[in-house]
Structure 1
Amino acid sequence: MRNNIEKIFSAFIKFFAFIAISLLILILIFILKESIGLFNKVSFWNFVFGNEWQPLAFNPQVSIKPIIIATLYVSIIGVMIAVPIGVGFSVFISILVPEKISKVLKAFMNMLAAIPSVVYGFIGLFIIVKFFEVHFSFSTGESVFGAGILLAIMILPYIVSICNDTVCKIFKIYKIHSQSLGVSKWYMMNNLILPACKESIIASTILATGRAMGETMAVMMVIGNCPIMPTIFGRGETIPSLIALEMGSARIGSLHYHALFASGFILMLLLLIINAVFYGINRKINI
């Protein structure tokens, strides 16, 4: 009886996994199909490496190099800020604080993950943007760096969640041996736990990067939404923000419409390339 239940459960899991993969493939095919309408008129090279985004001009120009760069800038800033803090916070709540306090901090971190993006956007608009305007004398506080800071706060719970589980498991393995040998917690963290957590750190970085590159609403509210060549402390526009802002006004079948789908296709290619790079790094670390 138990074997039959396990077989049925296994069949359900395989079925839903097949459905999920099929849906992903269908989405990719649909995006690629809608993108071809652009690439029949504009070369892939000019679309990716050109500087002008003027789809409604008399002579339309659709190139997204500044938008790609802004997307990468924001994501890299967010990940660079969030990963060290997330890993350190995971070690802190797993090893250095009492269990009761650890549970409270974990609950707080889980609550951060449940806050809607638009709420983060309002927080960024009224705190981060205003801070840059007042203390750095920016003409406007909307900037790539401000969007990166906001993204770092948003992706922090994902990093902490993945790293915390691994740190707890590894700490239980080494705790008794380290105490019996008189090894300090700091030595154990630096030389035993963190090296053993490298895979989970890479996994959390991949997840955080994907989350950062796909974020729309919060980033859109603080980055300034200008399709110009971005600077760290200047305005910019990310690919998700571009699609969210302009898809509603794009006429179906127009060059503008196909260019937005092509932008989404480029975003998916970027994510695949970044995941492949992290996978290669992970393999080299494990060799």
Structure 2
Amino acid sequence: MYKKLEILFSIFIKTLAFISFSILCLILIFILKESLGLVHKVPFWSLISGVEWQPLELKPQVSVIPFLAATIYVSLLAVIFAVPMGVAFAIFISIIVPESIHKILKAFVNMLAGIPSVIYGFIGLSVVVKFFEGHLNFSTGESIFAGGIVLAVMILPYIVSTCDETMSKVYGKYSIYSKSLGISKWYMINNLIIPSCGRSILVSVILSTGRAMGETMAVMMVIGNSPIMPKLFGKGETIPALIALEMGSAQIGSIHYHALFASGFVLMVLLLIINTIFYSISKRIIV
């Protein structure tokens, strides 16, 4: 009886995995199909060279480089800001505080993950952008830096949640031995827990990077949305923001329409490359 249930459950799980993989492949095929329409009208090389985005001109230019650079720039800033804070907070709630407080803080972190991105964007526009304009004498607070700060807050719960579970298990494994040997908690954290959680930290970086590069609304509200090469304290526009702002006005079958799909395809390929690199690195990490 149990053997049959195990076989049925295995078939069910494999079927769901196959359906998920098929849906992903169909999405990729559809985006690629819509992107190929650009090749017949504009050389593909122009999409990944130059810095101009003028798809409605008589001689259209549809370079995706400024948007790709802004996407990478904002995502990199967010990960740099969020990973140290996320790992430190995960150590705090999983090792330092008592179990009762740990549950409260963990619930608070999970609540942060469920807040809609437009709320983060509104807070960023009302607080971060205004702070830059009022206290740092920026001509405009909308910038890559503001986008990185808002995005860092958004991805922080993913990093904390991923690291917390692993750190709690590792701490439960080593705490008794460390106390019996008279090793301090901070020494154990630095020399046992953090090295043992290397793969978990890397997984959190992968998840947060994918989340950051795909975020649209919050970043769009604070980044300025200018199709220019990005600077740290200047405006820019990410690929998700470009698609969200212009897809509704793009005529189906036009160069503009196909260029937007092509920019989305470039973003998906970039994410696939980054995830593959991170996955290869994680396989080399010994836990």
The residue that corresponds to 2:102 in the other structure is 102
Return 5+ residue gaps in structure 2 as ranges.
none
Note the alpha carbon deviations across 1:77-102, whole angstroms, 9 max, x for none.
Answer: 00001111111111110111111111
Matches within 5 A, 1:213-224: 213-224=213-224
Q: What is the distance in 1 between the residues matched to 2:283 and 2:69?
A: 27
The alignment of Structure 1 onto Structure 2 pairs a total of residues equal to: 287
The residue that corresponds to 2:74 in the other structure is 74
Contact 2:77–2:148, Cα closer than 8 Å, also in 1? yes
Note the alpha carbon deviations across 1:231-263, whole angstroms, 9 max, x for none.
Answer: 011000000000000000000000000000000
Structure 1 residue 41: Cα displacement:
2.8
The residue that corresponds to 2:247 in the other structure is 247
Structure 1 residue 69: Cα displacement:
0.5
The DSSP-based 3-state class of the residue aligned with 1:210 is: helix
The DSSP-based 3-state class of the residue aligned with 1:13 is: helix
Matched, 1:207 2:171: no
Letter paired with 1:34: E
The residue that corresponds to 1:90 in the other structure is 90
The DSSP-based 3-state class of the residue aligned with 2:231 is: coil
Aligned-residue Cα RMSD (Å) equals: 1.1
Structure 1 residue 139: Cα displacement:
1.5
- Calculate the TM-score normalised by the size of structure 2: 0.98
Q: What is the distance in 1 between the residues matched to 2:182 and 2:40?
A: 69
Q: What is the distance in 2 between the residues matched to 1:168 and 1:283?
A: 22
Matches within 5 A, 1:161-176: 161-176=161-176
Q: What is the distance in 2 between the residues matched to 1:246 and 1:259?
A: 11
Structure 1 residue 159: Cα displacement:
0.6
Contact 2:90–2:164, Cα closer than 8 Å, also in 1? yes
Note the alpha carbon deviations across 1:24-58, whole angstroms, 9 max, x for none.
Answer: 00000000000001123333332112100011123
Matched, 1:197 2:220: no
Structure 1 residue 280: Cα displacement:
2.8
Structure 1 residue 21: Cα displacement:
0.4
Return 5+ residue gaps in structure 1 as ranges.
none
The residue that corresponds to 1:185 in the other structure is 185
Note the alpha carbon deviations across 1:123-176, whole angstroms, 9 max, x for none.
Answer: 111011101111111121100010010000000111111100100010011010
Letter paired with 1:31: I
The residue that corresponds to 1:48 in the other structure is 48
The residue that corresponds to 1:283 in the other structure is 283
Matched, 1:232 2:206: no
Q: What is the distance in 2 between the residues matched to 1:46 and 1:198?
A: 40
- Calculate the TM-score normalised by the size of structure 1: 0.98
Structure 1 residue 6: Cα displacement:
2.0
Matched, 1:117 2:110: no
The DSSP-based 3-state class of the residue aligned with 1:233 is: coil
Contact 2:46–2:61, Cα closer than 8 Å, also in 1? no
The DSSP-based 3-state class of the residue aligned with 1:286 is: coil
Structure 1 residue 3: Cα displacement:
1.9
Structure 1 residue 13: Cα displacement:
1.0
The DSSP-based 3-state class of the residue aligned with 2:37 is: helix
